[in-house]
Homo-oligomer: A and B are copies of this chain.
Amino acid sequence: MDRLDKESRTHALLAMVKIRLAEEEIQNLFMANLVRGTTHLAIGQEACSAGVALALSKGDTVTCSYRGHGHALALGMSLRSLMAEMMGKESGACKGRGGSMHMTDKSIGLLGANAIVGAQLPIALGAALTAQVRRTGAIAATFFGDGAANIGLCHESMNMASVWKLPVIFICENNLYGEYSHIRETTPIDDIADRAGAYAMPGVIVDGQDVEAVHAATVSAAERARNGQGPSLLELKTYRYGGHSRSDTAPYRKPGELAQWQERDPIDILAARMYSDGELDPEEFLEIKEAIAGEVFDAVEWAKAEPFPSPQSLEDYVYAAS
C-alpha cells in the first residue's frame, strides 16, 4: 500500500537529491558569507518534506519553520528563486526581505517559513479555515519540530483545529534535538504522537527516513481532513545530519548516533528500493545527481549576479498600498 509508482518515486528521489545538494551548497555560501545571519539545514530529513509534498494537491498550503528550504524545494520552488533569496537579492522569492528563515512562495502554496518557534502552526489553521468557509476542499499542512511541540501555541493550535474540525495536518519532524538539547532533556515522553489523544485526533508515528511511508501517512491524514473529519498529527522520526544552525558542530550528540542514522539515509533507502525493483540503476542515478548539481550550480551563479534590492525600496511591503 505504501509503495509508490515509478514516476512518483522518481519525483521524490529528484526532490530529495535537489534538497540535499542545494543545502550543501547553502552551507558553503554561508561559510563564504554570501548567506548572512544564520541558516538551518534539513540534510538527513529530506524524506519528510518530499513525502508530504508528494501527497498534497494544488490549492493545499504549507507552513513551516526556519528549517524550510527542503519544504520549499519539495513543493516546487525554483532553485534560482531560493538561491537569490538566500543571498538577499531582489529576485528572491521574498525579494530579499525574508532570507533563509522565511522562505515563502505563494505560487506553490508555501505560506511561509517562520523564525519564531511554533508560530507557523495557527497560520495553517487560518488557511484551513478559509478552505472550510469557502468549501474549497483544500487542506493545510504545518511542519514543526520536536522542540516546538513544547510551546504553548502548539497546544492551542491542535486543540482549536480539532474543535473546529479544520482540515489540517500537523507534521512533527522529530529529529531528536531542539537546538543543542536532546528531546529527553526537554520533553517527558519519547513520542510526540502520543499527544494527539489530548486533542481527540489520530497520532501516527512514521518512519521519517522512508519517503514512501511519509507519503502514505500523509495521504491518509489528507483524506481524513478533506472528508471533514478534522486534523491529524503525524510524527516523522528523523534526524538532521548537521548541527542546529550556522557553524554548530553538534558536539552534544552521542558518539555513533550520526553514523547510525546515516545508515538509514532517506535518499539511499529510496534509491536501493528502486534499484531492486528495476526502476533505477546506479549509472542513471549518478546522471540524475549530476544534472541536479548542475542546476544548483546554475542557480547559485545566477543568483550571485542578480542585483540587491535598491535602498529606495526600503519601505516597500510594510503596508498594502506599497
List the interface of chain A (C-beta within 8 A of B): 150-156, 159-160, 162-163, 185-189, 194-195, 197-201
Question: Quick check: B199 and A197 within 8 Å, CB to CB?
Answer: no
Query: A155, A185, A201: which has the most chain B beta carbons within 10 Å?
Result: A155
CB distance from A302 to the nearest CB of B (A): 43
Roughly how many angstroms separate A224 CA and B262 CA in the complex, as a whole number? Answer: 42
Residue of B at shortest CB range from A231?
Answer: B188
**Interface residue from B152, B155, B186, B194 paired with A197 (Cβ < 8 Å):** B194
Name the prevailing secondary structure of the A interface residues: helix
A153 neighbours in B (Cβ, 8 Å): 152
Query: How many identical chains are in the complex?
Result: 2
CA distance A187 to B187 in the complex (A): 23
Q: How far is the CA of A150 from the CA of B161 in the complex (A)?
A: 12
- Chain B residues, Cβ within 8 Å of A150: 155-156, 159-160
A307 to B145, CA, bound (A): 56
- Chain B nearest CB, measured from A145 CB (Å): 14
- Per the bound structure, the CA–CA distance linking A185 and B150 in Å amounts to 24
Contact residue among B151, B185, B194 (Cβ-Cβ distance under 8 Å from A152)? B151
A199 to B199, CA, bound (A): 14
Contact B156–A151 (Cβ < 8 Å): yes
Shortest 9 CB-CB distances between A and B: which pairs?
A152-B152, A155-B155, A188-B200, A162-B188, A195-B198, A198-B198, A152-B156, A150-B159, A189-B200
CA distance A124 to B213 in the complex (A): 43
- Look across to chain B and name the residue whose beta carbon is closest to the beta carbon of A185: B163
A162 to B184, CA, bound (A): 11
What's the least CB distance linking A24 to chain B, in Å?
Answer: 35
- A159 to B198 CA separation, bound complex (whole angstroms): 13
Least distance between A97 CB and chain B CB atoms (Å): 28
Which has the most chain B C-beta neighbours within 10 Å: A154, A188, A199, A201? Answer: A188
Cβ contact within 8 Å between B199 and A189: yes
Set of chain B residues within 8 Å of A151, measured between Cβ atoms: 152, 156
Q: Could you say which residues of chain B place their CB within 8 Å of the CB of A197? A: 189, 194, 197-198
